[in-house]
Amino acid sequence: MASVLDTLYERGFVQQISDEAGLRAELDRGGTNLYWGTDPTAPSLTVGHLVSLMMLSHFQRAGHRPIIVVGGGTGLIGDPSFRTETRQLMTAEQIDANTACLHAQIARFLDLSQGNALLLNNAEWLGRLGYIEFLRDIGWHFSVNQLLQHSTYRERLEGGSLNFIEVNYALLQAYDFLHLYREYGCALQVGGSDQWFNILAGSDLIRREEGEEAFALVTPLLTTSSGEKMGSTAEGAVWLDPARTSPYAYYQFWINTDDPDVQRYLALFTFLPMDDVRALGRLEGAELRAAKEVLAVEATTLAHGRDAAEQAQGTSRALFRGGAEAPEAAPTTVVDPGRLGAGVPLVDLLVETGLAASKRGARNLIRGGGVYVNGQRVEDVDTTVDGEDLRSGAVLLRKGPKQFHRVVPA
C-alpha cells in the first residue's frame, strides 16, 4: 500500500523533510498526529493557505490526525518571516474575532467531528506561560547565533529594524510543537518552506527536552508560471470567505489559470486521481479550457459546495458565450438610483464592483484599453456612467475579455 508521503510527492506537496526515513517509519505505524499553524491575521484564509489545507486532508484520508493551531497567542506578536518591516500589532479582540471566522473555512477541507482533527488556539497555553519560567526552561536552549541563522532575522538586524518581540516568535512556535508533543504525541509539523527554520527549532526543542525525535515537512511556496506569487491578483488576495471573494470570483480565479499551471494545480488543489490529472494536463489549445473548467469546479466545490460551484460554472459559461442571457448571469452591484441618475465616475464603479483594486488601478485599466461599458471600449478616465447607459435596466461593465459585472439601480 502506498504511503501518504508517496501521494504527497506525486502531487507536488513536498519540498523538504527533516528525516524522511524516520518519518516514513513513524507514518507506517499509523495514526500519527501532525500539526499546522496559522496566525489569524485576517477574518479569512486565502488560496495561499490551500496547499497546507489540502496536504492535511491527504494525511487525514490516510488515517492520520491533523491538529490545526490558530495562533491566538503568536498572532499577538506576528511572524516576522520574510518580512522587511515589523508587522502592525493586533489587539486581542481582533485576534479573537478573526479566529472565530476561520472554523467554517477549515471545516470545508477537514473533518473536524469526533476528534478526527483538532482545532486549537495556542493562546490557551501560551497565555499561561510565566516569562521568567519560559526564559529559564525554554529560552536557554536557543542561542543568538542560532537565531541569526534565520535569514529574516539576519537581514532585518543588518537593516536595523528587528524588534525584540519578533525575536521571540521562533521560540514561541517551537514551544507550540513541544506542547503538542507532550499533550497529543504530535510528531510532525508541516507548513510552507518559509517556516523551515521555525519548524526545525521546534523539533530540536523536543529532542533536547524529551529526548525524542519529531519531524518537519515543508511544501514549496507556489508561484505561477509567470513568476507571480500564487493567489495574488491585480484585485488583491483571493479569500476563502465568500463575503470577501464571491464563489463566482473564486471560480474565475481558477478558470483563468495560466496554461502551464493547469496540471500542477489539478494535482495540488483537487482530489482527482493522478491518471485523470495527467490526462487533463495533456490537453492543448481550446480543449485545455475543459481542463480549466474541471479545476475551477472541483476547487470551488471544496471551498463553497457543489451548488455554488455549478452556479458559478453556469454564469461563467453564459458570459463566455455571450448572448441574451449573459448580462443576467453576471455578478451584480446595486447602486442608488439618484446617484446613478446624477452620474457616477467609471473609476469609482470599477472599484466598487471589484473589477479594480484601487482608483489608480482603475485608471490604468482604462488607459490600457481594458474596460468596456455595454460592450464599448472606454478610453477616457474621466468617463461617468449615468441613467442613459442603462440597457434593459442595467449597465454591463467588462474588464478584459472575460470579467463581467452588472450595475443596477436599487
Q: pLDDT (tens digit, 9 = 90+) per residue, 62-82?
A: 999 999 999 888 887 765 554
Better-scored residue on pLDDT, 10 or 123: 10
Range 331-339 average pLDDT: 87
User: pLDDT at position 233, please?
Assistant: 62
Range 381-388 average pLDDT: 90
332-409 and 4-219 share a CATH fold: no
Nearest to 263 by CA among 221, 302, 292, 229: 292
User: pLDDT at position 118, please?
Assistant: 96
Q: Return the domain boundaries, the chain.
A: 4-219, 232-321, 332-409
Range 250-271 average pLDDT: 95
Range 208-226 average pLDDT: 91
CATH of range 4-219; options 3.40.50.620, 3.20.20.140, 3.90.1310.10, 3.40.50.300: 3.40.50.620
Whether the predicted pLDDT of 83 surpasses 50: no
User: What CATH number has the domain spanning 332-409?
Assistant: 3.10.290.10
User: pLDDT at position 22, please?
Assistant: 97
Whether the predicted pLDDT of 128 surpasses 80: yes
User: pLDDT at position 309, please?
Assistant: 96
Q: H-type helices in 131-287, by residue range?
A: 131-137, 144-147, 151-158, 164-184, 196-210, 247-255, 262-269, 274-281
Better-scored residue on pLDDT, 157 or 358: 358
**Whole-prediction pTM:** 0.82
Give the model confidence (pLDDT) of 337-375 as tens digits: 889 888 899 999 999 888 888 999 999 999 999 999 988
Q: Using 50, 70 and 90 to split pLDDT, how confident is the model at 87?
A: low
Better-scored residue on pLDDT, 295 or 156: 295
Better-scored residue on pLDDT, 125 or 78: 125
CATH of range 232-321; options 1.10.3720.10, 1.10.10.60, 1.10.240.10, 2.60.40.3080: 1.10.240.10
Kindly report which listed range (76-90, 151-165, 253-267, 317-331) carries the lowest average pLDDT score: 76-90
Range 282-301 average pLDDT: 95
Q: Is 379 helix (H, G, I), strand (E, B) or coil?
A: coil
3-state percent helix, strand, coil for the chain, nearest multiple of 5: 50, 15, 35
- Please work out, in degrees rounded to the nearest 5, the angle formed at the alpha carbon of residue 21 by the alpha carbons of 18 and 22: 70
- Please work out, in degrees rounded to the nearest 5, the angle formed at the alpha carbon of residue 149 by the alpha carbons of 194 and 188: 45
Q: According to the per-residue pLDDT averaged within each range, which of 47-61, 97-111, 306-320, 377-391 is highest?
A: 47-61
How do beta strands 118-121 and 65-70 pair?
parallel
Mean pLDDT of the chain: 88
* Distance of alpha carbon 71 from alpha carbon 45, whole angstroms: 13
User: pLDDT at position 9, please?
Assistant: 98
Residues of 245-283 as b/e, b for ≥16 C-beta within 10 angstroms? bbbbbbbbbbbebeeebbbbbbbbbbebeeeebeebbeb
User: pLDDT at position 340, please?
Assistant: 86
Name the β-bridge partners of 408: 334
* Distance of alpha carbon 197 from alpha carbon 170, whole angstroms: 8
**What is the percentage of the chain residues whose pLDDT exceeds 70?**
89
